[in-house]
Structure 1
Amino acid sequence: MDQQMVDLESNRRTNIDEESPAIFKKAIRPVTLKFEDVAYTIKAETDGMSWLRKKDKNSDSEKHILNGISGVVKPGEILAMLGPSGSGKTTLLTALGGRLGGKLSGSITYNNKPFSNTMKRNTGFVTQDDFLYPHLTVAETLVFTALLRLPNTLTKAEKTHEAEAVITQLELTKCRNSIIGDELLRGVSGGERRRVSIGQELLINPSLMFLDEPTSGLDSTTAQRIVKALSELAIGERTIVMTIHQPSSRLFYMFHKVMLLSEGNALYFGHVSDVMKYFSGIGYAPLVAMNPADFLLDLANGLTPDESNDNKSELKQSLALAYRENLEDKLKAELKETSGVDCNNNQSEEASSEDKKFRKWPTTWWQQFTVLFRRGVKERKHDSFSGLRIGQVVAVALLCGLLWWQSSSLQDQIGLLFFMSGFWGFFPLFQAIFTFPPERKMLEKERTSGTYRLSSYFMSRIIGDLPMELVLPTLFITIVYWMAGFKTTAGNFFHTLFVLLLLVLVAQGMGLALGAVVMDLQSATVLGSVLMLSFLLAGGYYVQHVPRFISWIKYISISNHAYKLLIGSQYKGSDTFPCVNDANRLCLVRDFPNIKTIGLDGQVNALVALAIMLVFYRLIAYIALMRIGVTKK
């Protein structure tokens, strides 16, 4: 049986090696992954009534997710980690990929060295969910990734060629010009989307690849195609580690090593060809022919082959004890043997030299900015320049123009100015709140893999949204200004337009900050509504005599400063209007009650206040984003 398995493996390797595209055979620096006594704990969650119970000084406030897991994966091997939900597969995979913070203990080495930026650059990590931009095509997705992640030793044309080669090797040629799509937008199939995610990591020609449930939700044929592609990668001396929930028997025998986990404990680690023999040797053998993966999952769930046991926890403990008695010492010996031998010993001096010259980022700041700007515009142009948004603004502008048609009433005109300060405070605020929360997973994925600087992403996102943010209020004021009968001089018009655009940018900054800090759309929207309504109430139009103990709100009110500047764009202190009590007599505009409260002086102060807010809110948003995609060690 063992010889037959060896012959099958040899034939499979020969066939794959002959059929594999040239890109699978690229030279890489092989990596031996070793992990020993890896443990991970988190704070245990408590229910809301825990304070009623007497506190036990000896109670354990931590939950153990991983309990001393060890293993070794060599170049050319695929390790599949099996186990039921909650067994710790994804946690272990994340830890091995250098992406897990918190109370992680034990030793994880790569060619007997700790995780470093150099290793990070040579590691591919495919998450369980495919975080891709839905409006980009398959080709655009991979080309943009290549331009961002491949180093400047390659030209732009060479990077594009690499993306095309990945499209060919992963059999994505037929759908290369199809959009990715999502739940609401029809696009490529689930298997094709998964291959695009794998292709993004394959572009960097990684020595080490981690994949979290790469076949989840796929049919057996598509799953086999993906695992076959991974087998071809392993032939090129790559080290591959994956989690998989319930593989078919065909997939199971495509792996080299398997690890079985249950409740954070290892129940088996070793070669696939030995797994059934091992469990038979300790008294657990299937009663009928069945998929080995199903048999292993039954054991991990606490089910014996004859389903005679009632105590699942006892069976799991028995299997964990058997593992420690029969396999752990052998594994520790193997780890000790490889600890003194660096599989890259001949290249150690070269690697050390490369580490010294290593640059953290594969491309320059400007390159990252331009690529992210182009990608962002392509992805969001469908929403930013949608007919719905333009229609909303035009409809409100026409309604305002008709309601205030050639108004000569001072009260009506300042009422319109205040409405403008309110509408263009709310509209960009809510648009901006939706900027970062939907992209959190994508930002986390790309930042963790070291794709780009946060500053280049932030600036490309801010500047990429400017065209529509500035075009819409310009369109609005162009319609309303002349219909409402404001002063017809170019100076007054452009003064009003400038104030309105400044207001929009400040409100947008506030929305960006709320979205980045809260990172929950519903909570950020509610908070934004409360804050903006508070600013409107203190804006100087509704309440003219604000009590002193709460009058400080007007100093942080966007509406208050914008309203003051809008009034200043239309009126001067020397302007007059027909007195209310005597139409034949003229009164000074600055004495009009609603204007007297807000005041025509202090225009520079209001301008400076909005300028400070313009910078401050964006700074808050940037600082809030810094926590995303950074693993704390």
Structure 2
Amino acid sequence: MPPTQDHPTEPVVAYPSCVFPVTLKFEEVVYKVKVNSKQKGWTCCNSVQSEKTILNGISGMVCPGEILAMLGPSGSGKTTLLTALGGRLRGKLSGKITYNGQPFSSSMRRRTGFVLQDDVLYPHLTVSETLMYTALLRLPSSLTKDEKVQQAQRVMAELGLGGVANTMIGGPLFRGVSGGEKKRVSIGQEMLLNPSLLLVDEPTSGLDSTTAQRIMSTLRRLAVEGGLTVVTTIHQPSSRLYHMFHKVVLISEGCPMYYGPASSALDYLSSIGYSSPIVANPADVLLDLANGISPNNSNVEKEQNEQKMVKEELILAYDRNIASRLKSELCSVDPNTFNYLREIPNNVKREQWSTSWWEQFRVLLSRGLKERRYEAFNKLRIFQVLSVATVGGLLWWQTPPSHIQDRTSLLFFFSVFWGFYPLYNAVYTFPQERAMLIKEQSSGMYRLSSYFLARTVGDLPMELALPTAFVLIIYWMGGLKSDPATFILSLLVILYSVLVAQSLGLAVGAALMDIKQGTTMASVITLVFLAAGGYYVQQIPSFIAWFKYFSYSFYCFKLLLGIHYRADEFYECSPGIMCPVMEFPAIKAVGLAHIWADVCVMALMLIGYRLVAFLALHRLRLR
């Protein structure tokens, strides 16, 4: 017998083999959003803010061992309601949502699994690695690493994923596991915690009927045998899937039309005059009615006002026949029934995170390096950098010291190439991981600071290895100073510039969170910094001359000049004529003084840009 609110199963205080029963109640849930509508006046068009009701007084209850399915047309509010039940909806939400009579809390978040409609998974990780890293991050520190790995293996076996354990998830560019297996991996990530409440958004979307049935059979087994409380949205279930549901909520345009046992839906519709003349899939009948199409006259070309009339009749019938009975049923459930559960959340409420900051950083760094090993050490990217270095070395082949114009242009090329190449690469970093970051932050998987540092540190090996190889090739081919100290200092300055450029790219990407907009902004920054770098325009008008001080490529170029030239040096400006280095236009425009001040300015840029990136990600998390 599955646990219910009347016969609760006494929880065993042991982790992770126990599931604490949770009864979910939602009463008169209303959600409104502000929308901008253009109102045309006699002179211009004005934007007026109005409210749109997404959910309008939806109530229901689901107990341990039950599956509640939300049915309705696209845009009816199913996913919005599911998000609200998961404590993830922000905005003007009213009504009452309780979990064993208590409001949503951080401890309840730990017991809630939320499976998104789209499977947000790292493509280059295997199924085993995906579940293992999730276990290391989400399971409490009271468990050892081996116990966490065993938990991941147990869930993998329970979901029938053992045969694809070492197969990569896959992505758009390469084949991996099937769609049904991806969905089971997503469910498995949430099952690692032995959740009490499992919320699943469109688990059968895009799957064939056989795979969809396997997914729903898994969810039903988890509910009935495991005592979970399962809520799912589903768009067009087959008859076989429909009969797996215990309860159904039918929603149309945010309004409830039916709530009750799935097996009683057709009887209820017959009682209010909407009987189906033929044996039909109950889900099809419900969805037709939600669209305003009566089963007695299934003409989909009916007039819009007739469809509206059908919807209104169903909503009124709900208010007459279901709403009052449901309200009494919800009130009859005594919250004191769940007192035995209240002490358990308090034990873990003191700790907001499952693992320490250092453990999160270590696991995220390991996961990031393993996931991006194919992307970072991409053969095409390596070929791109090495070929540019080789061609550049041939162009500046063994430039003599007297050719100061060519030497300064080579140093400027250093500052430009490694000022902007890392910038464009870094712009992609956070927009590409936006969905994953939102998913994992919503689950409270790790601190944002541990993710941010692990993500940026994980990029350093490739970000610093390529410029090092670049400098090793072009520096000696170009015939620059052979003094080892000069070479090492030049390399350090370029690596320093790479870190600053990467910081700016991270800030732009995190602030815009859109790859197209980010690359456009990076292009504008590149052109402005290039022009203000002190090489192309040397007599910059005074009213805009200050702009060069915001260009890190300007500081990089200046530091490289300071390493290779001294203020009291001379160069052969004409045959037999020596001129002061400081009189050379490119050097004179930049100057060789205040080198350490320039180092400090670049340090401020490095820290400042990364701080902006972190704050932008923090704002994204709070949306």
Question: What TM-score do you get using the length of structure 1 for normalisation?
Answer: 0.93
What amino acid is aligned across from residue 110 of structure 1 in structure 2?
A: Y
Q: Give the match's secondary structure for 2:207.
A: coil
- 2:320 matched to 1:320? no
Please point out which of 255, 259, 267 is paired with 1:277: 267
Q: Would you say the 8 A contact 2:36–2:49 is kept in 1?
A: no
Check whether the contact 2:134–2:189 (CA below 8 A) recurs between aligned residues.
yes
Aligned residue type for 1:614: L
Residues 114, 200 of structure 2: 8 Å contact kept = yes
CA shift, 1:229, in A, is: 1.1
Q: Does 1:596 align with 2:588?
A: yes
For residue 530 of structure 1, the aligned residue among 524, 527, 543 is: 524
SS of alignment partner, residue 44 of structure 1? strand
Q: Deviations over 1:143-166 (max 9, x none)?
A: 000000000111100000010011
Gaps of 5+ in 1: 1-9, 14-22
Q: 1:184 to 1:52 in 2, by over 3 A?
A: farther
Q: Give distance in 2, aligned partners of 1:246 and 1:54.
A: 45
**Aligned mates of 1:342, 1:377 — CA distance in 2:** 49
Asked whether the 8 Å contact 1:150–1:159 carries over to 2, the reply is: yes
CA drift of 1:590 comes to: 1.5
Partners in 1 of 2:178 and 2:82 — Cα distance?
26
Query: Deviation of residue 25 (structure 1)?
Result: 11
> 1:609 aligns to what SS in structure 2?
helix
**Structure 1 CA distance, aligned partners of 2:16 and 2:268?**
35
Give the Cα–Cα distance (whole angstroms) in 2 for the partners of residues 399 and 489 of structure 1: 23
**Per-residue deviation, residues 223-269 of structure 1 (Å, max 9, x unmatched):** 11111111111122211100000111111111100000000000000
Per the alignment, in what secondary structure is the counterpart of residue 117 of structure 2? coil
Q: CA deviation at 1:45?
A: 3.8
Corresponding residue to 1:254 among 244, 251, 275: 244
Q: Report the Cα distance in structure 1 between the residues aligned to 2:133 and 2:53, rounded to whole angstroms.
A: 40
Q: Is the 8 A contact 2:108 2:345 kept in 1?
A: no
> What's the CA shift for 1:595?
0.8
Q: Which position in structure 1 is the counterpart of 2:286?
A: 296
In structure 1, C-alpha distance between the alignment counterparts of 2:315 and 2:43, rounded to whole Å: 33
**Post-superposition shift, 1:71?**
0.8
1:330 correspondence with 2:325: yes
Q: Which amino acid aligns with 1:34?
A: K
**3-state SS of paired residue (1:261):** strand
Q: Tell me the SS of whatever aligns to 1:183.
A: coil
Partners of 1:389 and 1:597 in 2: how far apart?
34
Between the aligned partners of 2:448 and 2:119, the Cα distance in structure 1 is 21
Shift of 1:628: 2.7
Give the Cα–Cα distance (whole angstroms) in 2 for the partners of residues 559 and 51 of structure 1.
50
Q: Could you tell me which residue of structure 2 aligns to residue 424 of structure 1?
A: 418
* Residue 369 (structure 2) pairs with residue 374 (structure 1): no
Q: Does 1:266 align with 2:247?
A: no
Which residue, out of 116, 119, 132, partners 2:105? 116
* 2:619 counterpart of 1:630: no
Aligned residue type for 1:388: L
Q: Could you say what secondary structure the match of 1:46 adopts?
A: strand
Equivalent residue for 2:24? 33
1:326-351 Cα offsets, whole Å, 9 max, x none, are 0000000011111x334422333x23
1:87 is matched with 76
Percent identical among aligned pairs is 54
Deviation, 1:288, is 1.1
Instruction: State whether residues 24 and 232 of structure 1, in contact with CA within 8 Å, keep that contact through their aligned partners in structure 2.
Output: no
- Structure 2: how far apart are the matches of 1:330 and 1:516? 50
- 2:33 corresponds in structure 1 to 42
Q: Which residue of 2 aligns with 1:442?
A: 436
Q: TM-score, normalised by structure 2?
A: 0.94
Structure-2 change in CA distance of 1:418 and 1:43 (3 Å): same
User: Cα gap change, 1:55/1:602 in structure 2, threshold over 3 Å: closer, same or farther?
Assistant: closer
Q: How much has 1:424 moved relative to structure 2?
A: 0.8
Q: Determine the C-alpha separation between the residues in 2 that align with 1:548 and 1:359.
A: 57
**What residue is the counterpart of 1:388 in the other structure?**
380
SS of aligned partner of 2:98: strand
Q: CA deviation at 1:53?
A: 8.3
Contact 2:113 2:190 in 1 (8 A): yes
SS of structure 2 residue aligned to 1:579: strand
**Alpha-carbon offset, residue 558 of structure 1:** 1.2
Alpha-carbon contact 2:35-2:52 (below 8 Å) kept: yes
C-alpha contact 2:107 2:345 (8 A) present in aligned 1: no
Distance 1:577 1:60 in 2: 69
What is the Cα deviation at residue 352 of structure 1?
6.0
Structure 2 residue aligned with 1:480: 474
In 2, are the aligned partners of 1:215 and 1:244 still within 8 Å (CA)?
Answer: yes
* Cα pair 1:448 1:630 within 8 Å, conserved: no
| Cα deviations by residue, 1:298-327 (Å, 9 ceiling, x for unpaired) | 000110111365311111111111101100
Counterpart secondary structure, 1:549: coil
C-alpha distance in 2, partners of 1:575/1:120?
A: 68
- What's the C-alpha RMSD, in Å, of the aligned pairs? 2.0
Q: What is the CA distance between 1:444 and its match in structure 2?
A: 0.2
Q: Is 1:557 matched up with 2:557?
A: no
Equivalent residues of 2:266, 2:275 under 8 A apart: yes
Matched with 1:151 is 140
- Helix, strand or coil for the counterpart of 1:260? strand
1:437 Cα deviation after fit: 0.2
Q: Which runs of 5+ in 2 are unaligned?
A: 5-13
Which residue matches 2:179? 190
Matches within 5 A, 1:194-205: 194-205=183-194
Match of 1:360? Answer: 352
1:571-606 Cα offsets, whole Å, 9 max, x none, are 1112221123xx212222122122111111121121
Residue 460 of structure 1 aligns to a residue whose secondary structure is: helix
Aligned letter for 1:90? T
| CA contact 2:73–2:290 (8 Å) conserved in 1 | yes
Q: Could you give the per-residue CA deviations for residues 177-203 of structure 1, whole angstroms, max 9, x where no partner exists? A: 100001211000000000000000000
Matching residue's letter, 2:416: G
- Superposition pairs for residues 467-546 of structure 1, below 5 Å? 467-546=461-540
Q: Secondary structure at the match of 2:385?
A: helix
After superposition, the C-alpha distances for 1:529-561 in whole angstroms (9 at most, x for unaligned) are 101210111111111111111111011111111
User: For each residue in 1:513-537, what CA deviation from the matched residue of structure 2 results, as whole angstroms up to 9, or x when unmatched?
Assistant: 0000001111110111101210111
Q: For 2:547 and 2:289, how far apart are their aligned partners in 1?
A: 64
In 2, Cα distance between equivalents of 1:77 and 1:127: 20
Q: 2: distance between equivalents of 1:342 and 1:369?
A: 41
Give the SS at the match of 2:539. Answer: coil
8 A contact 1:30–1:238 mirrored in 2: yes
Aligned residue identity for 1:46 = S
1:273 Cα deviation after fit: 1.6
Deviations 1:97-117 (A, max 9, x none): 000001111111111111000
Kindly provide the amino acid, as one letter, of the partner of residue 36 in structure 1.
E
1:508 positional shift? 0.4
